[in-house]
């Protein structure tokens, strides 16, 4: 990473060292963690310069009794703000009808308590914020109860709280939250120890957690009233349309002729980006009074490019390079190294090997990338919906040539994230255009810009070798994963992991999932960076990230091994999930989801017609330490032409504790259908250094007519809450691939699974 | 200068005749409920009604829309209580929500003509509307629920004493 991007490391996130304050303020009762001056830099600077900045408040209760929760998370359809409100409401004892949500700016005080940054991804939010939100809610309840006790002249210990009402049962007196907030002067400080000492509810006492309360963001989304980044309107604002080069990365602008653009009414200026953050290369922004005029001007610009070093590359070149790298003995770094796989493979009774591939995939959320930038005094304001406010603020600052502490990011709703909005590229043209024209500028990508300049799911190549002993037992597995390294691209060392062979840090977000919960005594996983792909197709985190490809390989291979050993693939998995050693706990949970999916789908019992099959897969996405447990039984029908019709997906997932069951079902179903879409319908290709697909006619996510029957079966066993937004993405493709094999004996090893590939494999 | 009749009101807008209706609605009239998704008639996010028909406002020019009755999501019902909007909440359809204005407008044009659609009719009518969050099954359920509610309401209306 270059020096123009400065990520402010924040200690502010360490809530264990901060007090929680409850205090009456002008507009009601404010509750939040104290901002300790001097502990973190940017907070002070921002507070000093931006008077209208949100106070360090996690939630506030108004004199009308409405409870507004401020959430430092990206709300992109997972209703995370609503979930956070639900956790607070549970302990606070408020009526759900009184709850409101608002999105936070990028102030470090809203950083994730565990991650130390504002980032939404990895299905982490609920898991990591459960405790902090619960304690914040409980602290509020305690403060309100003490105030109510004083007002009623009764001991606080005799009060009960329910639906925003505090009641003294004996005297039949009660006070609403609104009354307490209106009349009272409440000041209470909880030290970190006080907070820790609060006894939270036990699951049997829950009244909100585990209940499908209506999501707070939904009504606005049925009336066109929710505000996304693209909806931001600022006084005096003009519009920018980017012109992106034919090469995904590495091009430079040689010349810009704007003589025709100048004839477009409303045209203001063509700005050639000077992007020192290296997020973009060779971009130009046409700025005009309206977006339509900006589009026309963009079309009228005559730009010549130097295509740069990647201008000749294609998907095939990236695959070829991946194979070459995999063949080298000293490539990559070890992510897993158990036992001695080389020796075990050497002495195995039977060795089978296979190559698995995935193509480039594009996020294409329905809201194209956009950002609005405005300079007011020293402060750069960015309005956009973003999953990684902390880094995005830094990129915007880099593009502006200012210190990140002078950037305020105003979070908007995200019209889809899926990992795309972890990136910050959209801020660069907005910032530089705003600077060049001295006005606020909203930059909106066309769908063509959005697709061809995606930080895509990288093309991957994996080689897996398995060794069986004489009894058909799996004794060795070697697994090489070759890909671009999406997370290394961020340039934040904390997001990299040490390799087990101490060869240096590796991007675990390319191999997560390969460290599965099967017991295999000799096992290695090697992460190999495809530098060519890394440069030519800067990759990003696409919903579920690595498990989206690692489980494609692992779960297909396990089936191949089972068939080679003459065993039922589901039964074979159950044996491997023996819960021995480091796999204890996780393996059993995964096994249970598999058994559930098998039973619910009628695996082995349903009599299927010719050409139909059921295949299974089970996954521990995302990371091993934040695993969640998901299995799928896919029922497919395969036509003689090779065309695959998915008849039914039976998904079982163990989520530990459910906060909002209906929300979980929506997420799991959406994730499963993403998995289906990636398995069968989505493929992008690189040609002459550029992405060939430009809109929804050539890049074709699942439509309603392609919807199979999906059943989502949630196991909630009281374990801590796991993430649910991603894991089901990863289980579908291998389940379908395995089902196709069971149906017609065709093994497909590349994604997406196409009719041609199935047909070819049927003949083979 | 063109005059558009949007949500029952005449509004004059200043835009070249070939400007897509979508951008005039969003930028000049600042009604941002209608969304931009693809600009090519491929996703349905920009769906509005012109004379009661669901059309893609990214593919409809201002001059074509002038003089016709245009309805956007903001004007579908006065208080956001169209049976579809209520059903959308009851079924908790939206995830990111970005496609949903277009989905609702597309569905509304179906139910206006056919208050008892089959599943196949719903799919055929809705297939041009992409939802990247994949809320399709809930969309189907919500349309069926709204259709049932509309039928009940109109039956009740028929039975109302004169
Ligand atoms: S924006 Fe009009 S159809 Fe996609
Ligand atoms: S709800 Fe997100 S695109 Fe449909």
Query: What was the ipTM of the complex prediction?
Result: 0.97
Give me the pLDDT at residue A74, please: 83
Residues of A in contact with B28 (CB under 8 A): 290
Residues A644 and A752 in one domain: yes
Instruction: For ligand 2, say whether the CB of B136 is within 6 Å of any of its atoms.
Output: no
Which parts of chain A register pLDDT below 50?
1-3, 8-13, 36-55, 109-110, 112-116, 122-123
User: Would you call A707 exposed, middle or buried from its count of C-beta atoms within 10 A (0-12, 13-18, 19+)?
Assistant: middle
Query: Chain A within 8 Å of B43 (Cβ-Cβ)?
Result: yes
Cβ–ligand 2 distance for B58 under 6 Å, the answer no
Same domain, yes or no: A96 and A243: no
Q: How many domains does chain A have?
A: 3
Predicted pLDDT of residue A118: 56
Backbone angles phi, psi at A661, to 5 degrees: -55, -40
Please name the residue of chain B whose CA is at the shortest distance from the CA of residue A228: B98
CB contact under 8 A, B37 and A368: yes
- Do the chains contact at B43 and A707, CB–CB below 8 Å? no
Residue A462 shares a structural domain with residue A391: no
Mean pLDDT of chain B: 95
Interface mutation vs chain A, best among B20, B42, B82, B98, most A CBs within 10 Å: B98
How many A from CA of A725 to the centre of ligand 2?
A: 14
Q: What is the structure's pLDDT at A611? A: 97
Nearest to A409 by CA among A738, A106, A196, A735: A106
Cβ–Cβ contact A25 with B under 8 A: no
In a domain? residue A590 = yes
| DSSP 8-state symbol, A161 | E
User: 3-class SS at A497?
Assistant: strand
Other CB atoms closer than 10 Å to residue A563's CB: what's the count? 18
Q: How many beta-carbon contacts under 8 Å exist across A and B? A: 164
Give helix then strand counts, H and E, for chain A. 19, 32
Closest Cα in chain B to A726: B133
The pLDDT score that the predictor gives to residue A58 is: 82
Domains of chain B: 2-75 (3.10.20.30), 83-159 (1.10.150.120)
A617: which residues sit within 8 A by CB, 6+ positions away?
Answer: A551, A555, A631, A632, A634, A731, A732, A734, A735, A738
Domain membership of residue A450 (yes or no) is: no
CA distance A404 to A424: 13
B130 lines ligand 2 (CB under 6 A): no
In a domain, A10, yes or no: no
Q: Tell me if A9 is assigned to some domain.
A: no
**Minimal CA–CA distance to A483: which of A525, A539, A418, A524?**
A539
Q: Are residues A245 and A203 in the same domain?
A: no
Residue among A6, A71, A23, A16 at smallest CA distance from A39: A16
Q: Which stretches within A565-660 are classed as H helix?
A: 569-576, 586-601
Q: Is residue A295 one of the residues assigned to a domain?
A: yes
Do residues A583 and A528 both lie within one domain?
yes
Q: What is the CATH number of the domain that holds A191?
A: 3.30.365.10
Q: Whose CA is closest to A174, among A155, A159, A184?
A: A159
Q: Are residues A429 and A498 in the same domain?
A: no
Alpha-carbon gap, residue A758 to A761, rounded angstroms: 5
- In terms of C-beta density within 10 A (0-12 exposed, 13-18 middle, 19 or more buried), how is residue A456 classed? buried
Residue among B20, B46, B73, B132 to mutate when testing ligand 1 (max atoms within 8 A of CB): B46
Which numbered ligand comes closest to the C-alpha of A221?
A: 2
C-beta B132 within 6 A of ligand 1:
no
- C-alpha angle with apex A219: A216 to A223, nearest 5 degrees? 150
A129 to chain B, any CB pair closer than 8 A? The answer is: no
Chain A residues near residue B118 by CB distance under 8 angstroms: none
Residue A764 has a pLDDT of 74
- Looking at the structure, tell me whether residues A162 and A275 fall in a common domain: no
CB atoms A223 and B85 under 8 Å: yes
Render B79-90 in DSSP notation, one character per residue. TS--HHHHHHHH
Chain A hits for B31, Cβ within 8 Å = 224
Q: Which atom of ligand 2 is nearest to the CA of B134?
A: 4
Residue with CA at minimum distance from ligand 1 atom 3: B41
Q: From A74, which residue of chain B is nearest by alpha-carbon distance?
A: B96
What is the pLDDT, as a whole number, of residue A251? Answer: 98
Q: Residue B76's closest chain A neighbor by CA? A: A223
Both A703 and A741 in a single domain?
Answer: yes
The residue out of A160, A188, A218 marking a domain boundary is A218
pLDDT for res A495: 87
- C-alpha to C-alpha distance for B78 and A759, rounded to whole angstroms: 55
Chain A residue closest in CA terms to B26: A231
Number of the ligand closest to the Cα of B56: 1
With a 6 Å cutoff on the Cβ, whether B17 touches ligand 1 is: no
Q: What does the DSSP assignment read for A668-701?
A: HHHHHHHHHHHHHT--B-EETTEE---STTTS--
- For testing contact with chain A, the best of B31, B132, B141 (most A CBs within 10 A): B132
Structural domain includes residue A8: no
Last residue of a domain, one of A444, A465, A487: A444
- A419 interfacial to chain B (CB closer than 8 Å): no
CA distance B161 to chain A (A): 34
Instruction: Return the structure tokens found at B47.
Output: 């769906």
Cis peptide before A622 (omega within 30 of 0): yes
Tell me, yes or no, if B73 comes closer than 8 A to chain A by beta carbon: yes
Q: Does A219 touch chain B if contact means CB atoms closer than 8 Å?
A: yes
Residue B155 distance to chain A (closest CA, Å) = 26
Q: Tell me the C-alpha distance between A758 and A237, whole Å.
A: 53
Same domain, yes or no, for A204 and A275?
Answer: no
Name the residue in chain B with its Cα closest to that of A662: B92
> Rounded distance, CA A497 to CA A333, Å?
11
| Residue corresponding to tokens 């602008």 | A253
**C-alpha distances in angstroms, A276 versus A400, A425, B25?**
9, 12, 36
Cβ–ligand 1 contact at B13 (below 6 Å): no
CB contact under 8 A, A695 and B34: no
For B30, half-sphere exposure in the C-beta direction (CA atoms, 13 angstrom radius) is 5
Q: Which residues contact A150 (CB under 8 A, 6 or more apart)?
A: none
The answer to whether the CB of B129 is under 6 A from ligand 2 is no
Are A408 and A517 within one domain? no
Distance from CA of A340 to the nearest CA of B (A): 44
Q: Is B125 on the interface with A (CB under 8 A)?
A: no
For residue B97, the ligand 2 atom closest to its alpha carbon is 1
Tell me, yes or no, whether A600 and A724 share the same domain: yes
Whether B27 and A290 lie within 8 Å, measured CB to CB: yes
Are A479 and A510 contacting, i.e. CB atoms less than 8 angstroms apart? no
Please give the distance, rounded to the nearest whole angstrom, from the Cα atom of residue B92 to the centre of ligand 1: 24
Same domain, A488 and A349: yes
Virtual torsion, Cα A661, A663, A668, A669, nearest 10 deg: 110
pLDDT at A3: 45
For residue A258, being part of any structural domain is answered with yes
Q: What is the pLDDT of residues B45-98, one digit of tens each?
A: 999 999 999 999 999 999 999 999 999 999 999 999 999 999 999 999 999 999
Question: Residues of B with CB below 8 A from A662's CB?
Answer: 92
Strands (E), A346-472: 350-358, 370-376, 379-384, 407-411, 441-444, 460-468
Q: Which domain holds residue A168?
A: 15-218
User: In which residue are the tokens 């000492």 written?
Assistant: A197
Q: Is residue A4 part of a domain?
A: no
- The CA distance from A288 to A285, in Å, is 10
Q: Which residue from A minimizes the CA distance to B38?
A: A447
Q: Last residue of some domain: A384, A410, A444? A: A444
Q: Which of B96, B123, B144, B146 to mutate to test the interface with A (most CBs of A within 10 A)?
A: B96
Contact status of A86 with chain B (Cβ, < 8 Å): no
**In what order do the strands lie in the sheet containing A28-33?**
A99-103, A67-71, A59-61, A28-33, A20-25, A187-190
- Kindly state the tokens that stand for A686: 């690189």
Instruction: Tell me: pLDDT of B114 over 80.
Output: yes
Q: Which of A457, A357, A453 lies closest to A701, judged by CA? A: A457
């Amino acid at each position: 990473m270059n020096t123009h991007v400065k990520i402010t490391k924040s200690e502010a996130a360490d809530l264990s060292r901060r007090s929680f304050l409850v205090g009456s303020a002008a507009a009601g009762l404010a509750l939040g963690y104290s901002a300790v001056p001097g502990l973190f830099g940017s907070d002070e600077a921002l507070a000093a310069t931006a008077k209208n900045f949100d106070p360090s408040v996690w939630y506030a209760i108004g004199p009308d009794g409405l409870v507004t929760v401020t959430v430092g998370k990206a709300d992109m359809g997972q209703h995370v703000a609503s979930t956070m409100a639900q956790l607070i409401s549970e302990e606070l004892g408020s009526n759900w009808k009184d709850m409101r949500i608002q999105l936070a700016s990028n102030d470090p005080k809203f950083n994730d308590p565990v991650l130390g940054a504002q980032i939404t991804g990895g299905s982490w939010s609920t898991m990591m914020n459960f405790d902090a939100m619960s304690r914040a809610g409980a602290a509020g309840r305690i403060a309100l109860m003490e105030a109510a006790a004083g007002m009623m002249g009764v001991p606080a210990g005799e009060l009960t709280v329910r639906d925003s009402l505090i009641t003294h049962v004996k005297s039949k007196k009660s006070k609403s939250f609104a009354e307490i907030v209106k009349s009272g002067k409440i000041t209470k400080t909880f030290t970190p120890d006080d907070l820790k000492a609060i006894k939270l509810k036990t699951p049997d006492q829950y009244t909100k957690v585990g209940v499908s309360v209506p999501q707070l963001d939904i009504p606005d989304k049925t009336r066109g009233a929710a505000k996304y980044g693209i909806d931001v309107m600022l006084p005096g604002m003009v519009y920018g349309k980017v012109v992106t080069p034919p090469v995904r990365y590495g091009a430079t602008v040689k010349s810009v002729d704007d003589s025709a653009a100048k004839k477009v009414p409303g045209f203001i200026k063509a700005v050639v980006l000077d992007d020192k953050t290296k997020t973009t290369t060779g971009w130009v922004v046409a700025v005009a009074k309206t977006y339509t005029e900006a589009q026309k001007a963009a079309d009228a610009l005559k730009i010549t490019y130097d295509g740069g070093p990647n201008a000749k590359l294609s998907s095939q070149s990236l695959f070829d390079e991946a194979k070459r790298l995999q063949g080298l003995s000293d490539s990559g770094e070890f992510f897993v190294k158990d036992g001695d796989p080389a020796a075990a493979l050497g002495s195995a009774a039977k060795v089978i090997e296979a190559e698995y591939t995935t193509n480039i995939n594009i996020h294409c959320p329905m809201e194209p990338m956009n950002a609005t930038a405005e300079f007011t005094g020293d402060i750069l304001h960015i309005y956009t919906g973003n999953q990684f406010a902390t880094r995005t603020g830094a990129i915007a600052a880099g593009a502006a040539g200012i210190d990140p502490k002078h950037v305020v990011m105003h979070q908007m709703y995200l019209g889809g994230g899926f990992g795309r909005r972890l990136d910050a590229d959209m801020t660069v043209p907005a910032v530089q255009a705003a600077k060049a024209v001295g006005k606020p500028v909203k930059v909106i990508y066309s769908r063509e810009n959005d697709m061809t300049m995606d930080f895509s799911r990288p093309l991957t190549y994996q080689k897996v070798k398995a060794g069986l002993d004489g009894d058909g037992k799996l004794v060795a597995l070697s697994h090489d994963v070759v890909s671009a390294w999406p997370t290394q691209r961020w340039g934040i060392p904390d997001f990299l992991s040490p390799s087990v062979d101490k060869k240096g840090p590796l991007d675990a977000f390319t191999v997560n999932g390969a460290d599965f919960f099967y017991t295999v005594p000799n096992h290695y996983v090697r992460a190999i960076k495809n530098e060519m792909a890394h440069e030519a197709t800067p990759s990003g985190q696409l919903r579920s990230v690595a498990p989206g490809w690692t489980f494609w390989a692992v779960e297909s291979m396990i089936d191949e091994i089972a068939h080679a050993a003459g065993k039922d693939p589901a039964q074979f998995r159950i044996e491997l999930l023996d819960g021995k050693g480091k796999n204890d706990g996780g393996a059993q949970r995964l096994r249970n989801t598999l058994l559930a999916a098998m039973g619910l789908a009628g695996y082995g019992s349903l009599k299927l017609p010719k050409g139909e099959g059921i295949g299974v897969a089970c996954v521990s996405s995302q990371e091993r330490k934040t695993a969640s447990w998901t299995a799928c039984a896919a029922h497919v029908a395969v036509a003689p032409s090779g065309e695959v019709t998915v008849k039914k997906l039976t998904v079982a997932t163990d989520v530990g504790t459910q906060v909002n069951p209906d929300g979980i079902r929506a997420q799991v179903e959406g994730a499963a259908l993403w998995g289906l879409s990636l398995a069968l319908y989505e493929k992008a290709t690189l040609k002459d250094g550029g992405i060939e697909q430009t809109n929804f006619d050539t890049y074709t996510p699942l439509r309603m007519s392609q919807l199979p029957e999906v059943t989502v079966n949630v196991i909630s066993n009281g374990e801590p809450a796991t993430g649910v937004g991603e894991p089901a993405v990863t289980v579908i493709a291998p389940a379908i691939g395995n089902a196709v094999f069971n149906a017609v004996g065709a093994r497909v090893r590349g994604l997406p699974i196409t009719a041609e590939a199935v047909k070819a494999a049927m003949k083979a | 200068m063109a005059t558009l009749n949007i949500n029952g009101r005449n509004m004059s807008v200043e835009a070249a005749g070939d400007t897509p209706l979508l951008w005039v609605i969003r930028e000049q009239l600042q009604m941002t409920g209608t969304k931009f998704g693809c600009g090519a008639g491929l996703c349905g996010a920009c769906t509005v009604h012109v004379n009661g028909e669901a059309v893609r406002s990214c593919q409809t020019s201002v001059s074509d829309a002038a003089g016709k009755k245009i309805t956007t999501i903001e004007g579908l019902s006065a208080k956001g209580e169209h049976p579809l909007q209520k059903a959308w909440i009851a079924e908790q359809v939206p995830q990111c929500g970005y496609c949903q204005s277009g989905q609702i407008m597309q569905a509304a044009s179906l139910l206006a003509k056919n208050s008892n659609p089959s599943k196949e009719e719903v799919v055929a009518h809705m297939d041009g509307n992409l939802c990247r969050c994949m809320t399709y099954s809930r969309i189907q359920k919500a349309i069926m629920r709204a259709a049932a509610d509309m039928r009940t309401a109109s039956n009740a209306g028929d039975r109302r004493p004169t």
